[in-house]
Amino acid sequence: MRNKKEVIVTFHPEQGWKEPVYEVLNDVAEIIFLEDLETRERKARLKEVDALLSFMVHNELEKEEFRLLRDGTMIQTLLAGVDAVPYDVLPQSVMICANAGAWSEPMAEHIIGMMLALGKNLLKRHNELKRGEFSREGYSTWFHGKTAGIIGFGGIGKATAGLMKAFGMRIMAINTSGKTDEAVDFIGTMKDLGRLLAESDVVVIAVPLTRYTKGLIGKAELEKMKPNAILINPARGPVIQEEALYEHMLKNPDFKVGIDAWWVEPHVHGEFKLNYPFFELENILGSPHNSNMVPEIYPIAVRRAAENVRRFLEGEKPKGIVDPADYEFL
């Protein structure tokens, strides 16, 4: 009989990542790093483990290894988004927990950076200067008094709203309950999406990709937005319909878009691919899904995930439990 529960860390720990794992879990669990195990021992351990602490679990285990997990095993990811988890091969009783809100602070800064760069036309003006053009013609956006609409009011949405308030912006938000303890000007549910889109000068997508949010923003939704609105997506590419977005941007050059999360990305699909020539347009600003990537946040995200594993091991209800049914048909 084992004296301690077992936790397998499936990701390669970068510098500074091991310490929070041991600090949080060492007294309640035996901590095993998957990369230290030989193939035979790896499979044996996976059959008995109580919890997995993973980063991109879909890349860290082979598909057949997921089937080895016993009933009641927990998979805790470092990521907030869990749409890439292979739900089709997981035993039904395996619990998946997302690291909701763990990366919120740097992502919120990235969102604000995109908002400012687009609203102030910084990339356009920079490129003009590179060409030797010194033009002061045209206005930029003053964000004071403008309305921000945040679709998804979890950790990222709340952190973004906090920064936007410093600009004197009005905050509208949508979540599943239509309730929040945060000081906002409007809180609603998805039935209020049309109102939020119509009233907002800046729209931020901060929802996970599920079967309910896939294709959420299409032609009809884009046409409800102001012709000079700014749309920022740091969440998941497929929340927006790619063709509809391209066509809308093409027809509305004053409509600006910041994209951090794309439709086809290397870490999930093995390549970066666009079906439409977005970068031939001037009203786009892109980044390579790196809004969370600041060195200080990684140990914090690891600690937050490890603390949730501890809750599970001690018999408490962990945070961020995922319903696999939400991810069917993705």
Stretch 188-194: mean pLDDT: 99
Q: Tell whether the model's pLDDT for residue 3 goes beyond 90.
A: no
Determine, yes or no, domain membership for 242: yes
Residues 190 and 281 in one domain: yes
Q: In which band, very low, low, confident or very high, does the pLDDT at 2 lie, cut at 50, 70 and 90?
A: low
Residues 37 and 176 in one domain: no
- Strand, coil or helix: what is 283? coil
Asked if 58 and 85 count as a contact pair (C-beta separation under 8 A), the reply is: yes
What pLDDT, on a 0 to 100 scale, did the predictor assign at position 187?
99
Stretch 17-41: mean pLDDT: 95
Length of the chain: 330
Residues 142 and 279 in one domain: yes
Determine, yes or no, domain membership for 306: yes
- Domain extent, residue 19, equals 5-101+296-327
Query: Residue 154 — φ and ψ, nearest 5°?
Result: -95, -145
Residues 114 and 256 in one domain: yes
Asked if 73 and 52 count as a contact pair (C-beta separation under 8 A), the reply is: yes
Residues 112 and 126 in one domain: yes
Determine, yes or no, domain membership for 314: yes
Which run of H or of E encompasses 286?
Answer: strand 284-286
Count CB atoms within 10 A of the CB of residue 263.
Answer: 19
Q: Tell whether the model's pLDDT for residue 329 goes beyond 80.
A: no
Residues 67 and 189 in one domain: no
Stretch 242-257: mean pLDDT: 99
Stretch 312-321: mean pLDDT: 97
Residues 126 and 205 in one domain: yes
How many domains, in total, are found in the chain?
2
CATH of the domain at 320: 3.40.50.720
Smallest CA-to-CA distance from 283 within 312, 247, 253 is with 253
Q: What is the CA radius of gyration of the chain?
A: 22
SS (H, E, C) 237-285: HHHECHHHHHHHHHHCCCCEEEECCCCECHHHHCCCECCCCHHHCCCEE
Determine, yes or no, domain membership for 291: no
Q: Tell whether the model's pLDDT for residue 1 goes beyond 80.
A: no
What pLDDT, on a 0 to 100 scale, did the predictor assign at position 15?
87
Residues 221 and 127 in one domain: yes
Stretch 71-99: mean pLDDT: 94
pLDDT digits (tens, 9 = 90+) for 199-234: 999 999 999 999 999 999 999 999 999 999 999 999
CA–CA separation, 119 vs 98, rounded Å?
Answer: 33
pTM, full prediction: 0.94
- Strand, coil or helix: what is 41? helix
